[in-house]
Structure formats: C-alpha cells, structure tokens
Structure 1
Amino acid sequence: MWVLEKVLGVRQPVGAPAHRGVAVEEGVTYGIMNPDASLDECVKVAVVRYDTLTALSPDARRERYRETISDSVDHALAELRPYGAPSRVQGRVEWRPDGLRLPVIGFFDFEWAQHGIIVDLKTTEKLPSQIKASHARQAAFYAASGNMAARLTYATPMKCATYALENIREHREALRQIAVRIENFLALSDDPEFFKSITVPDLDSFYWGGRARQFAYEHWQI
C-alpha cells in the first residue's frame, strides 16, 4: 500500500473516520481559542467542516460518524480548555537528523509554551489504554524539536483521556531509523516500476479491499 500511494502516487479515498478527526480538531481548536464560545458554537464549526469534507463522499458510514462529532468535541474541550489558550496551533516542525538527505516535516496540533507542552489530539472510536507506537514517534518528533513535553489526547464519543509521553529520545530515534530505511529503500531506483517488481500486495489485508483491490490488479496483475 505504501508503494501504491507514495511511490506510484495512487491515493486512496479518505474515509469518514479521517474526516471526522479533522472536523473534531477544528471544532476543538475554535473552542480553546475562544474560551467563551458555547459548545453548540464549537460543534457547529466541526459539523460544517465535516459536511464540507464529506459532501461528495460515497462512504456509507458518513452519517453514523457525523452523529459522534458533538460528543467528541464536548469531551475534548473539557479535557483541553483547562490549559488555557494555546500559544500556537498547527505549528510547523522541521528536523534534519544525521544520516538523512531530506528533512522530516510535520505539524503539531497545540502548543502551550507557558506550560512547556505540546499536545496532539486523536479522535478514535475506542479509548486506548496507552499511547500507540506510531503516535509516540510522531509526538516525540514534535516535542524534541522544541525541548517540550509531549502529551497525546484521545477523544472518543464516550470519553477522553490524555497520556504523557515518556522516553522521547528513544521514540524520536526510532522515527529516524524508519526514515533512514525509507530513504535507503527509495535509493534503489528512480523508476517507480522497479518497486512494483520487488513488492507484492497482501490481498488478505483489509487495506486492499474496495477500489484498492482493482489497483492491485492494474499495477501488479494479481
């Protein structure tokens, strides 16, 4: 799937869960930047954003995820508003570690410089009991670049929780190692067709359902 999207440039349709995450974040951002805004106002911002993103979406789950936006925004605001107004939102971070030709670039969700923390907001169906590994690497990259502490806030339609990230250096080093391996892999050839010749899709994975299955046939003839 990575070769299909990143090397061949065939992007998969974005589903309702991802659109909900963007919408909830927008509603929460509005709420913490405008502390006097009512919940209804914040939810409206989120729903308008969601409806815009999904206007042409064929995802059958669209309405079901729309109904969860209000509660997710509510729980996230209750969790994050006590921090006060953030010093920055959607801040750009660039990292040029040794061993990489290209920089690592990302955008964090919220920074509270007055508290020395960066928070990344994740909207999900079920509340995890700990920070997911991929999220830990992402947050470590943001935090270490500014010598900040990092936290992950997970918002669900039922509840919300924030976890402090530990071992930031180790997680960022893991990210660097992944980036080095990706560069080494891409250095094998400048021809996208080459990467098709040395990879094979795992058609048992749900990632290769729907339209992706057709792409697998078109590009790998399987």
Structure 2
Amino acid sequence: MRASVFMMAVGMATVGAPVWAQYKCTSPSGQVSFQQQPCAGQQRQQALDLKTLPPPSAGTPAPDFAKQNAELDKRLAIRAAIEERRPVVGMTVSELQLAMGAANNVNRSQAGDVVSDQHVYQRGARTVYVYTRNGVVTSIQDTASGQASASVAGKCLSRREIWELEVEASRNDIRYNEAAQERYRRRIALAKDCS
C-alpha cells in the first residue's frame, strides 16, 4: 500500500515538470532523433546525461539592464568620436590619443591620489584643451582665435555633455575658486547658445 502511494506521489510530482529527451536515436541511414522512450528497432541508442541548473537563489540580484544599456551607449558614442577624430567626455587617455593623436603639450597636477592633466592640441588657429582626471576625460575646451567655443570639431555639445560640465563646475575644488567658476560659467553659456 505504501509503495503504491509513493509511486502515485512521484507520478503527480513529475506531471508539472518539464520534459526533456532522454535518448538520442540514430537510424541506419544516419537520421538523428531525440525522444523520451528507448530507441526502436535497429536504431543506435545513446542515453543522455541530463543536468539541470538549480534555480537562482533568493539573494541573487537581477541584472541591471538599464545600467548595461547606458554603458553600451557610452562605448558606442566614444567609438563614433574616435572615428570622427574628436574628443568626448568619458574617454580614456588611450582613446583620446586614438581620436586626436599625441598632444602638443601635457600639463599635469596631482592632489593626493588624483592626477589631473591638461592635454593641449594645436589645430591651426584653434587650440583644444582636454582635461582628464585619473586617465579619464572630464571636460573639453575648444578655442578658435582666442575665443572659447562650446563646439568640438564643429559639433555642439549635447545636453548630456552640458550637464557633465555643470556637474564638473560643482566640484568642491572648483566651487570655491571664483576664477574657475567664471570660466565654467562662460563655457556653459556658450554651450547652451551653440546651435
């Protein structure tokens, strides 16, 4: 009686379970099929070792697809900028060199473990200043005939790049430096007026 109750419980538990092929059958002509029942007739049979993955544990966080998509968008924008030979915020120094070549001059300053560089590129009457912090481009200033310009290589800054300038201007080391604040105010105003 107990055995039949046990078999009935096992049968009911497997009703909702997914079904996988347990046998690989190869006919004499070479046709392959996968099935639950043992192979019939002269078919060659291979029992399959089925392993299932355990369900994810409750503590495993779900993937952050929004963050992954944002990172992918950033990488694509940097790749496009390299092809167009222009700098963009977020590039590494090696990506900057791929886009712009070697700088005419690099001015370096260090405060603690923060290394800030100013890469200077002379382009005829134009000078492009690219600022990096710990090897990543944080801001760009393009001047033509001594006038600051918000566009880099003839392109206006995007709303995101303007926002990044505003964030950069709010850093503690810049926030209380009136001269630096004035430079950022001019750059942001030019960027917003660029059409």
Which interval holds the TM-score relative to the shorter structure? under 0.3
Bigger fraction of residues in helix: 1
TM value normalised by structure 2: 0.23
TM value normalised by structure 1: 0.21
* Larger-gyration structure (1/2): 2
